[in-house]
Amino acid sequence: MTESPTGPEGVAFSDPTYRAAVVDLLGVITYGEIAAFERLADDSKLAPSLEDKVALAAMASAEFGNVIKLRDRLEALGADAFEAMAPFRVAVDSFHDHTSPSNWLEGLVKAYVGDGLARDFYREIAAHVDVETRDLILTSLGDTTYSEFVVDRVRSAIEQDHRVGGPLALWGRRLMGEALTQAQRVAADHDALSALLAGGVDRPGMDLAALGRMFNRLTVRHAERMEELGLAH
């Protein structure tokens, strides 16, 4: 049988640095999905109606479904999924500790804007991994079905009371700052991920200019989400 260049036994994974980077990347994404699942489940308690509570529960369920697929991929690579997640617990938990919503609307904005920034960041890194891993990451971090629900609820709340828009806009900016800080910390504190971004003989990398363009793209996407929520100003 011909050796696959992208499978767990493939050429790419014969490089221990590359394998470590993929395990790190999947580890941080998997723990991020667990944290999102837990937070959404907690936020459902703030829901003003049974319909909203069920919607949040469905969002949480989708996050947990991603955990299983990502865990299976880690195990297929011969990694211990829980050991892979462990180094990232402090950074992810710190982000959520610093951005704990105080009400239902803040929770919705965080689910849409905060999680969106994190997902965009990991999608950017996924451009530097093998096709199989990249496809799994893009599928797991794809646009979720609850986007329309969140936008509808936030816009409706602003229409009913314009005073909620200002505080929510400030909240969105705070989420962006915290998310970008977390993203930079995750990349800088883990050598394998830094090496992945830097590239290799057979993989294109990112210099400082490219990194700057990446963070600019993250900022643009954040602004687009804020506009969708009616919080652009």
What is the predicted pLDDT for the residue at 29? Answer: 92
Q: Whole-angstrom Cα distance, residue 223 to residue 232?
A: 7
For residues 122 and 220, the answer to whether their CB atoms sit within 8 Å is no
Predicted confidence band of residue 233 (pLDDT cuts 50, 70, 90): low
For residues 119 and 67, the answer to whether their CB atoms sit within 8 Å is no
Q: What is the pLDDT of residues 121-162, one digit of tens each?
A: 888 888 888 888 989 998 888 755 578 889 999 999 999 999
Predicted confidence band of residue 229 (pLDDT cuts 50, 70, 90): very high
Nearest to 187 by CA among 25, 34, 16: 25
Q: Where are the domains of the chain?
A: 15-228
Q: Give me the DSSP letters along 140-186.
A: HTSPPTTHHHHHHHHHHHHHH-GGGHHHHHHHHHHHHHHHHHHHHHH
- Give the least confident one: 18-27, 70-79, 178-187, 214-223: 178-187
What is the predicted pLDDT for the residue at 9? Answer: 45
- CATH number (1.10.3720.10, 3.90.950.10, 1.20.1260.10, 3.40.50.300) of 15-228 reads 1.20.1260.10
Note the pTM of the prediction, 2 decimals: 0.84
Predicted confidence band of residue 195 (pLDDT cuts 50, 70, 90): confident
Which two tokens mark 87?
Answer: 């180094």
What is the predicted pLDDT for the residue at 146? Answer: 73
Nearest to 121 by CA among 200, 67, 193, 20: 193
- Output the furthest CA–CA distance in the chain (Å, rounded): 65
Q: Whole-angstrom Cα distance, residue 24 to residue 122?
A: 11
201 compared with 99, residue with greater pLDDT: 99
Residues 6+ apart with CB under 8 A from 185: 91
- The values of phi and psi at residue 103, to 5°, are -155, 175
Predicted confidence band of residue 208 (pLDDT cuts 50, 70, 90): low
Q: Whole-angstrom Cα distance, residue 166 to residue 62?
A: 30
> Please, what's the b/e burial string for 84-105 (b: 16 or more CB within 10 A of its CB; e: otherwise)?
bbeebeebbeebbeebebeebb
Predicted confidence band of residue 5 (pLDDT cuts 50, 70, 90): very low
Q: What is the pLDDT of residues 9-32, one digit of tens each?
A: 455 677 788 888 899 999 999 999
What is the predicted pLDDT for the residue at 8? Answer: 47
Is residue 3 predicted with pLDDT exceeding 70? Answer: no
Q: Whole-angstrom Cα distance, residue 88 to residue 91?
A: 6
What is the predicted pLDDT for the residue at 188? Answer: 73
What integer best gives the mean pLDDT of the chain? 84
232 compared with 51, residue with greater pLDDT: 51
